[in-house]
Amino acid sequence: MHSHHSHSGDYSAHGADPLNAVIDQVINLNFHTYCLTEHIPRIESKFIYPEELALGDDSAEIIANLETSFKKFMSHAQEIKARYADRPEVRTKFIIGTEIESCNMVHIEYAKRVMMEHRNVLKFCVGSVHHVNGIPIDFDQEQWYNSLRSLNDNLKDFLLSYFQSQYEMLTRIKPLVVGHFDLFKLFLPNDMLVDRETGQCYKETGVTVDSLDPISEWPEVYDAAVRNLQFIDSYGGAIEINTSALRKGLEEPYPGRTLCDLVKKHCGSRFVLSDDAHGVAQVGVCYDKAKRYIVDVLQLEYICYLEECQPPQTGLSIQKLPISQFVSDPFWTNF
């Protein structure tokens, strides 16, 4: 089995365990491919998370520490890769990458530079959106509401802004893996009232969010999602099925059914699997549910995974694993 997106407590302020402990669990669960993808540092003080404030006395020190920590991650990840390269009893292949955010252009340009400077180490990136209008949407409910408020409490505009940021990141970075495609749904309250026509959210009138499908409700939103998927298809990128939504209590992983159907139609059905683990307990978390989603709900013919090319060739290729082989992988004896 595979995961194309992971973190640890060593290099992520909201991670739980040391990277070595995470890796022990990966080996224990007999993963086929596991990608290490810590965040590229955010280099502007306005994007420092409250949990990162302990990293220094002022924002300059915090940012310098985030940068140092990322460098340490790159050497640590290389050590791990080397450690298991000549251990034939361990089948896990490790691939080193990074997760890039779409906070703003400064971050995106910085990320591009880091990727280029360290292209011998960082083989790919997971391209993600964690902010709408510069405000985090996956940190807590309050920030999510702040972000919606910054778009005048209009859900349609909020979604359009999300997909616009994603598009800007996609066109500049062309990430091989696109992270948690519909992260906006994490704190989207089911009982929030929305005007179906305009997308305006009200306290007393409208329909509840759970009675509509945010992607297909508004043609502009639908078109923006399709545009993004078609762009990803144009350079051969893949969409991750990310189980962190399941461990956080949502009914579907990222992305949900409607978007997955669009990935089948517009993006070559190129799905890869990710646990987005931040600690030992999250390695392979909810993979049994993801398997049912992949096999029974989406009825995929294959699942993709990244593989490093053999020298003298360099870089990564996207491989397709037929679903019959996916379901018979020895990994599933863990469940």
**Binding footprint of Zn ion on the chain (CB under 5 A):** 99, 128, 276
Q: Which H or E run contains 23?
A: helix 19-28
Query: Least distance in Å: CB of 250 to Zn ion?
Result: 15
Going from the C-alpha of 120 to that of each of 75, 96, 111, 116, 117, the distances in angstroms are 12, 10, 15, 9, 8
DSSP string computed for 205-239:
SSEEGGGS-TTTSSHHHHHHHHHHHHHHHHHT-EE
Q: Which is nearer to Zn ion, 4 or 270 (CB)?
A: 4
Closest CA to 10 of 55, 72, 60: 72
Q: Name the residue nearer to Zn ion (CB basis): 92 or 274.
A: 274
Give min distance, CB of 98 to Zn ion, in A.
Answer: 10
Cα(first)–Cα(last) distance of the chain, in Å? 13
Q: Which is nearer to Zn ion, 154 or 165 (CB)?
A: 165
Q: Judging by beta carbons within 10 Å of its beta carbon (0-12, 13-18, 19+), is residue 309 exposed, middle or buried?
A: exposed
Least spacing, CB of residue 296 vs Zn ion, in Å: 26
Are residues 69 and 12 in contact, defined by beta-carbon separation less than 8 angstroms? Answer: no
Q: Which residue is nearest to Zn ion (CB)?
A: 128
Pairing of strands 193-194, 201-202: antiparallel
- Closer residue to Zn ion (CB): 99 or 252: 99
Q: Smaller CB distance to Zn ion: residue 194 or 245?
A: 245
* Shortest Cβ 42–Zn ion spacing (Å): 12
- Cα–Cα distance, 218 to 199 (Å, whole number): 8
The residue (of 217 and 276) whose beta carbon lies closer to Zn ion is 276
Which one, 138 or 217, has the nearer CB to Zn ion?
Answer: 138
Instruction: Please name the residues in contact with 98: beta carbons below 8 A apart, sequence gap of 6 or more.
Output: 37, 38, 39, 40, 70, 111, 114, 115, 122, 125, 126
Q: How far is the CB of 277 from Zn ion (least distance, A)?
A: 9
Distance in Å, CB of 85 to Zn ion, minimum: 25
The C-alpha atoms of residue 156 and residue 209 are separated, in whole angstroms, by 12
User: Closest separation between CB of residue 81 and Zn ion, Å?
Assistant: 20
